[in-house]
């Protein structure tokens, strides 16, 4: 049985249909890279799975139970965690306070404040600093740590590297390496195709709200991924200036 099953999911923003009949499954322990250009529907899809945005059709099932219509906090309690784009920390609260706030919404498990500090060593010296004073990389580490404090079975990361310096991205991914190798189930939205293909076992590419390509990362060429990403076929790509 798949950990996550999405079937025919439709999601709207008013009159705009942002996600169109999307279906896919995620097995326990998988790392999936969800890629696509801006506006492809990736963030909306993750928010719908997390319960932060209502769906207008289709189903979301988690651990064999349908969760399509249950609220976001109940999905957190079942083991679904989303690190949102832009991080959305409580700027006037300390790193530790941001982490502890998440614990109340989650489930019992191995993730504690100290465990997060071990996974993200750059936070140790900033444990009592206000989140608003952190660097971009430190804020991203705190946002990921906050999600881990709910002890999720499924961790969804939206635009991990967005707005970060290359050095900060390297540090965040170095800390994520422990998660990626520990069997944690991860769905990762990443604009950096090279990095996405390097860390993911499977790739799902979206275009205009639909899945246009999916497969094992090792079975897909960079050309196939790039063409799907931009909505081109080989003939049109060859004719492009």
Asked if 44 contacts 189 with a C-beta cutoff of 8 angstroms, the reply is no
For residue 203, give the 3-state DSSP assignment.
Answer: strand
Torsions phi, psi of 151, nearest 5?
Answer: 55, 60
- Digit-by-digit pLDDT tens for the chain (241 residues) are 899 999 999 999 999 999 999 999 999 999 999 999 999 999 999 999 999 999 999 999 999 999 999 999 999 999 999 998 877 899 999 999 999 998 877 788 889 999 999 999 989 999 999 999 999 899 999 999 999 999 999 999 998 888 788 888 888 888 888 787 777 899 999 888 888 888 899 999 999 999 999 999 999 998 999 999 999 865 454 444 3
Of the candidates 64, 67, 49, which has an alpha carbon nearest to the alpha carbon of residue 186?
49
- Per residue, what are the HEC states of 22-90? EEEEECCCCEEEEECCCCCCHHHHHHHHHCCCCCCEEEEEECCEECCCCCHHHHHHHCEEEECCCCCCC
pTM for this model (two decimals): 0.91
Report the 10 Å Cβ neighbour count for 167.
9
Residues 3, 232: Cα–Cα separation, whole Å = 32
Which CATH entry fits the domain spanning 4-239: 3.40.50.300, 3.40.50.880, 3.30.43.10, 3.90.1310.10? 3.40.50.300
Handedness of CA 66, 70, 72, 77 (dihedral sign): negative
Q: Is 95 exposed, middle or buried (0-12, 13-18, 19+ CB in 10 A)?
A: buried
**Whole-number Cα distances in Å, 14 to 28, 37, 58, 87, 205:** 34, 21, 17, 25, 24
């Amino acid at each position: 049985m798949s950990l996550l099953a999405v079937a025919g999911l439709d999601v709207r923003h008013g009159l705009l249909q942002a996600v169109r009949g999307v279906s896919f499954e995620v097995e326990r322990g998988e790392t999936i890279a969800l890629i696509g250009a801006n506006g492809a529907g990736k963030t909306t899809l993750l928010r719908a799975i997390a319960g932060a945005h209502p769906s207008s059709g289709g189903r979301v099932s988690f651990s064999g139970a349908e969760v399509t219509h249950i609220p976001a906090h109940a999905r957190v309690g079942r083991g679904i965690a989303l690190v949102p784009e832009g991080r959305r920390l409580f700027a006037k609260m300390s790193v530790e306070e941001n982490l502890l706030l998440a614990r109340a919404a989650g489930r019992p498990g191995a993730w504690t404040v100290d465990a997060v500090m071990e996974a993200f060593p750059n936070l140790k010296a900033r444990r009592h600093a206000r989140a608003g004073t952190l660097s971009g990389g430190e804020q991203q580490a705190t946002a990921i740590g906050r999600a881990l404090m709910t002890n999720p079975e499924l961790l969804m990361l939206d635009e991990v590297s967005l707005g970060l310096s290359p050095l900060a991205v390297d540090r965040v991914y170095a800390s994520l390496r422990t998660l990626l190798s520990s069997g944690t189930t991860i769905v990762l939205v990443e604009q950096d195709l090279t990095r996405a293909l390097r860390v993911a076992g499977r790739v799902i590419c979206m275009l205009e709200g639909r899945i246009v390509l999916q497969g094992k990362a090792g079975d897909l060429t960079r050309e196939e991924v790039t063409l799907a990403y931009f909505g081109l076929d080989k003939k049109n790509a060859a004719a492009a200036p």
